[in-house]
Amino acid sequence: MNGDNVRERSGLAYTVAILGAFLIVAALVWAMRQYTQPGALNEKRKAERANALEEVRATERDALDNVGWIDPVKGIVRLPITNAMQIVLRDWSSNPAAARSNLISRVEKATAVAPPPPSQFE
């Protein structure tokens, strides 16, 4: 009889411990959700977000429609998308093999890593 009583108590203790752990985790999840919820959007915040979106779109529009330098040291320029499509169509329709080798050489040039500067001990 005494062994059965000990087993019942240990089983009850494990059950209470497991339920307590679940309740602690649930309380932590609830608390984190309360702390991490962003505030309501007021008119000022809406205007800030709209302005930021307009700035991003203007920057993207500028990058797609205007010529600009990407890396002047390597000689990499940004072309308007329409001009780039015309160049690709012209090159690839006349000589695909030469266009492919030209593309590969430009990619290698653009992604080349500069050698490290010499150390003072060399």
- Span 1-26, average pLDDT: 86
* In the chain, where the domains are located: 1-37, 65-111
What's the rounded mean pLDDT across residues 9-18? 91
Find the mean pLDDT for residues 22-42: 90
DSSP codes of every residue in the chain: -HHHHHHHHHHHHHHHHHHHHHHHHHHHHHHHHHHHPPPPP-HHHHHHHHHHHHHHHHHHHHHHHS-EEEETTTTEEE--HHHHHHHHHHHHHH-HHHHHHHHHHHHHHHHPPPPPPPPTT-
pLDDT at 86 over 80: yes
Mean pLDDT of 12-33: 95
pLDDT of residue 63: 87
What is the per-residue pLDDT for 111? 86
